[in-house]
């Protein structure tokens, strides 16, 4: 699993490490179900390869760092490494450094990964990572 994580982080680090800072201890919290719905819809748009609509909730930093073409490149690279997307398995919510975070656990052909979607206080997507399931 660590090997998969390394392969994912190397080609995607420039595009995906637009962040709100280094994660600190995670505190499980109750985030509004609206954010969970938006995060799962975002993953659905990725799976449907609808990158133009997927980026519509990005904040200005994310829009600059990851326009639809870059998001497509990142998703295609991910799929190339871990196989086709099969389904969303579950989701969980957390709070990190004052940001709302939704982890959408997804099943791919070769493994499961969490799509970590970070929302800023304005409820825009301000961070995105593909991480091993904890």
Over its length of 134 residues, how does the chain's per-residue pLDDT go in tens digits? 444 443 333 334 333 333 344 344 444 444 447 999 999 999 999 999 999 999 999 999 999 999 999 999 999 999 999 999 999 999 999 999 889 999 999 999 999 999 999 999 999 999 999 999 97
Nearest residue to 111 (alpha-carbon basis) of 93, 130, 92: 130
| Token couple for 52 | 């133009």
Whole-angstrom CA distances from 132 to 6, 50, 54, 76 are: 10, 24, 22, 18
Task: Please name each of the domains of the chain with its CATH number.
Answer: 32-132 (3.10.450.590)
Collapse the DSSP code of 63 into the 3-class scheme (helix H, G, I; strand E, B; otherwise coil) and give the result.
Answer: helix
List Cα–Cα distances, 96 to 12, 49, 85, 86, 92, in angstroms.
22, 28, 27, 28, 13
Q: Most distant CA pair in the chain: distance in Å?
A: 36
- pTM for this model (two decimals): 0.77
């Amino acid at each position: 699993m660590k090997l998969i994580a390394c392969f994912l982080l190397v080609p995607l680090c420039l595009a995906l490490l637009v962040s709100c800072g280094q994660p600190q201890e995670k505190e499980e919290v109750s985030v509004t179900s609206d954010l969970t719905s938006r995060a799962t819809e975002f993953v659905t748009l990725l799976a449907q390869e609808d990158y133009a609509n997927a980026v519509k909730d990005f904040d200005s930093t994310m829009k600059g760092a990851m326009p639809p073409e870059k998001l497509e490149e990142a998703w295609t690279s991910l799929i190339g490494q871990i196989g086709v997307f099969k389904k969303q398995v579950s989701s969980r919510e957390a709070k990190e450094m004052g940001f709302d975070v939704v982890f959408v656990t997804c099943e791919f052909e070769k493994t499961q990964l969490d799509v970590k979607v970070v929302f800023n206080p304005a409820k825009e997507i301000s961070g995105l990572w593909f991480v091993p399931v904890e």
